[in-house]
Amino acid sequence: MSSSNQTQRISPDLPWTVRLLLAAHVLITDACRRSNITINRRLLNLFDPKVSPSSKPHNGVSSFDINIDPLRHLWFRLFIPMVTSDVSSIPIIIYYHGGGFASNSPNSIAINSLARRFSRRLKAIVVSVNYRLAPEHRYPTQYDDGFGALRFLDNVDNTNHFLPSNADLSQCFIAGDSAGGNLGHHVAVRASEYDFKRVKIVGFMAIQPFFGGEERTESEIRFSEGPVLSLKRTDWFWKAFLPEGSDRDHPASNVFGPKADLDISGLKFPATLMVVGGFDPLQDRQRSYYEELKRSGKEVKMVEYPNAIHAFYAFPMLTESSLVINDMNDFMEKQLAQRG
């Protein structure tokens, strides 16, 4: 079966290196996900080698692992860019990685590289948070861990020497991709209702955030077989993450859906950047989210890359993976300038 209709294409032109990496990734994760909603962690870890932090600058960025609470494996990898010392304040990005809530960690090779790239190119300190994974830990563990990292930063004082003196806690951004984008949203909601001592969230960067719902959207149907995400995979991730017995209209997944009771208009929700890819099955939900923020009177900007697949940002060989950092940079500069 083939369709010559350009607007209905379901796969973009991709370099063979990307195709190969994607095929391997899908093969491995599918082999580790079991139909009884458990994960073969031993097998998955074999294909997810970890890298150590590097206090010696690597590509102009040094990194350190900071423990928050060993009991719940809460820690983060801190990335510090070598910016000139006369910079009086450096913004901080609290970053939540993707992986369907079920895989990856800040010391995974791809996540480590991405966070370092954010730090170098955005001239920001990046706090890449390790949150516990599903299905061993389900909702709301990931949100609690994500918010826990913010509260920890809020309590950092001069006796905690891991932050450079020009790190500016009043210039914090939340960023997350895919499941990390979903996490970022829920942390941003909690943060807008919380009285921080020093932390101030000035922006939220939602990179292809993972939202769901019972009713299928047009883009979910069109890209139901991928690339990268398929309905079978996303349904599995929701099953592994949401409380047992709940459906995809759970407010964690369908954040403005029929079972959600979220009126964002009254919240001090941060200015938001929404990043959308034209070959991402999640794009319709991301557009609805953008519309809802706008309707609620929030500052929100959407950037779209027509040729981008889900998780494009993880492939430096793709043009869009550079473009998105430029767009993030513009967004951050604008937010920081508005604050004077």
Interacting residues with ligand NAG (CB under 6 A):
34, 36, 38
The residue type of 174 is I
Shortest Cβ distance from residue 71 to ligand NAG (Å)? 24
Compute the distance between CA of residue 216 and CA of residue 209 in angstroms, rounded to an integer. Answer: 16
State yes or no: is 178 an active-site residue.
yes
> Residue with the closest Cβ to ligand NAG?
36
Q: 241-247 long-range CB contacts below 8 Å, 24 or more apart?
A: 241/100, 241/101, 241/102, 241/134, 241/135, 241/138, 241/139, 241/142, 241/179, 242/138, 242/139, 243/138, 243/139, 244/138, 247/214
- Residue number, 36 or 85, with CB nearest to ligand NAG: 36
Shortest Cβ distance from residue 36 to ligand NAG (Å)? 4
Catalytic position from the list 48, 145, 177, 280: 280
Following DSSP, what letter does each residue of 172-238 receive, concatenated? EEEEEETHHHHHHHHHHHHHHTS--SS--EEEEEEES-----SSPPHHHHHTTT-SS--HHHHHHHH
Shortest Cβ distance from residue 104 to ligand NAG (Å)? 22
Shortest Cβ distance from residue 135 to ligand NAG (Å)? 9
Shortest Cβ distance from residue 286 to ligand NAG (Å)? 33
Nearest to 153 by CA among 198, 116, 122, 123: 198
Q: Which residues share a beta bridge with 172?
A: 92, 201
Tokens of 65: 């692992």
- Residue number, 43 or 87, with CB nearest to ligand NAG: 43
- Residue number, 3 or 36, with CB nearest to ligand NAG: 36
Following DSSP, what letter does each residue of 95-161 receive, concatenated? EE--STTTS--TTBHHHHHHHHHHHHHHT-EEEEEE---TTTS-TTHHHHHHHHHHHHHHT--TT-T
Compute the distance between CA of residue 264 and CA of residue 95 in angstroms, rounded to an integer. Answer: 22
State yes or no: is 280 an active-site residue.
yes
Catalytic position from the list 97, 186, 250, 310: 310
- Residue number, 132 or 151, with CB nearest to ligand NAG: 132
Q: What is the CA radius of gyration of the chain?
A: 19
Shortest Cβ distance from residue 93 to ligand NAG (Å)? 37
The residue type of 7 is T
Catalytic position from the list 103, 108, 119, 178: 178
Shortest Cβ distance from residue 236 to ligand NAG (Å)? 13
- Residue number, 136 or 214, with CB nearest to ligand NAG: 136
- Residue number, 34 or 339, with CB nearest to ligand NAG: 34
**DSSP-derived secondary structure letter, 33:** B
- Residue number, 34 or 268, with CB nearest to ligand NAG: 34
State yes or no: is 310 an active-site residue.
yes
Nearest-10 crossing angle of helices 141-154, 179-192: 50
Cα dihedral value 101, 103, 105, 110, nearest 10: -120
Q: Give catalytic residues, as residue numbers.
A: 178, 280, 310
